[in-house]
Amino acid sequence: MTAGPHRPDDECLIAALHLAAGRDPAPDHVAAAARAAFSLRLPGAVTARRAAVPAPSGVRADDRARLLRFGTGDLTVDLEVDAADGLIDLAGQVSPCQEAGTWVEVRTPCLTESRVLSAAGRFAVTGLPPGWFSVVCHREDRPPVATSWTRIRP
Amino acid sequence: MIDQHTLDAVLAGDQAAWDVTVKRLTPLVWSAVRAYGLSTADAADAVQGTWLRLVESLHTVRDPARIGAWLFTTARREACLVRRRTRGERPVADPADPPGPAETWHPHADPALAVVVADEGRRLWGVVESMHEPCRSLLRLMAAAPEAGVLQLAGRLGMPPGSYGPTRARCLNRLRSLLTAEETASAAPPPTGRGTAP
């Protein structure tokens, strides 16, 4: 691929040819999923973006791929991802410690699971379908914090 | 592609306006993703992620003219990640977030977009039709049969399967050069003397 500032790459040319030919319409379920995504809108939420995970000693690079960190200025969500039998288990830690009653939602396009944080700020959800997910932390008198949508495959 | 009225309605939470947005922009997003050779399931996954990112970033959108460019760029990025994964790279989750729309929402942030907007389609095919064989047939066939595999495409073009990839790469290179030359010619001031390039 030799894409310069004004030289579209191969994929762009192929996309343009497909689009112009009109012979590869998106399946109905693709557009339906896009329409349904609007229901996952969270007005006023703060987005926690992916951040680098510091390497704990003794953890292999392969294992670190299973640790995800998301952060805003005042809140960090750490997640450990496990895949078993084609489903996803998430164990999470919200820090710093939040006040009692803080709860999280683990959202996917097809289901949402709610958990109250433990006193130590931990939560866990098992048996999620593979695909896109976001964790939303709801706090008293403050806007919710939502981790950016992330795709997980077993 | 999307007007200010529709965007305002989307920002106010109007599902019908969102549906209009999806309807208008789905062909662009789908084409962007399918160009990476993804299966229907993987392409659907990348498209869904693209729309989820737009939903997540809606509050930062001000200019409706930039939504197409952002979606196109984001869809390409998601597709690229999925393709890397299907080729055997194996992070459990995709690395790093894309830049937020606030940083990338420039209409020409992805120069590639100029090639895929509707008015360019005719020009693009005009250039393809002017190309020599096997490029003309190969590009036509590739666009007309997006689900066809290399064996099938090579067979229909009468070439060995091993030649299809390199030939396609050469044809795309040639197409890119022709488009660039055409753009340069149309952007240049009128010639003042003899001997200008054809």
Band (pLDDT 50/70/90 cuts) for residue A65 is low
Host domain of residue B173: 117-187
Q: Do B63 and B30 sit in the same domain of this protein?
A: yes
Q: Indicate whether B89 pLDDT > 70.
A: no
Q: Do B99 and B130 sit in the same domain of this protein?
A: no
Q: Do B41 and B139 sit in the same domain of this protein?
A: no
For residues B71 and B73, what is the distance between their CA atoms, to the nearest angstrom? 5
Sign for the CA dihedral angle at B72, B80, B95, A131 comes to: positive
Of B29, B94, B176, the CB nearest to A7: B176
Tell me which residue of A62, A60, A119, A70 sits closest to A90, measured CA to CA. A70
pLDDT at residue B27, rounded to an integer: 92
Band (pLDDT 50/70/90 cuts) for residue B190 is low
Q: Helices B15-34 and A28-36, interaxial angle, to 10°?
A: 130
pLDDT at residue A109, rounded to an integer: 94
Of B40, B45, B143, the CB nearest to A151: B45
| B153 lies in some domain | yes
Band (pLDDT 50/70/90 cuts) for residue A123 is very high
Total domains, chain B? 2
pLDDT at residue B197, rounded to an integer: 40
Paired residues of A49 in beta bridges? A71
CB A131 within 8 A of CB A152: yes
Alpha helices by DSSP H, listed for chain A, are 10-21, 28-36, 61-64
In degrees, rounded to 5, the angle at the alpha carbon of residue B78 between the alpha carbons of residues B75 and B54 is 55
pLDDT at residue A98, rounded to an integer: 81
- Here the ipTM equals 0.89
State which of B110, B128, B145 marks the end of a domain.
Answer: B110
Band (pLDDT 50/70/90 cuts) for residue A114 is very high
Quote the tokens at residue B177. 């050069």
Residue B142: strand, helix, or coil = helix
Residue bearing the bigger pLDDT, A5 or B63: B63
CB proximity under 8 Å: B 24-83 to A: 26-32, 34-36, 40, 43-45, 47-49, 51-59, 76, 78-82
pLDDT at residue B148, rounded to an integer: 79
pLDDT at residue A66, rounded to an integer: 84
Helix H or strand E segment including B33: helix B15-34
Q: B56 burial class (0-12, 13-18, 19+ CB within 10 angstroms)?
A: buried
Are the beta carbons of B112 and A33 separated by less than 8 Å? Answer: no
Q: What is the CATH number of domain A43-152?
A: 2.60.40.10
| B132 lies in some domain | yes
- Residue A86 contacts B, CB cutoff 8 Å: no
Q: Do B102 and B157 sit in the same domain of this protein?
A: no
Q: Do B140 and B65 sit in the same domain of this protein?
A: no
Q: Do B10 and B90 sit in the same domain of this protein?
A: yes
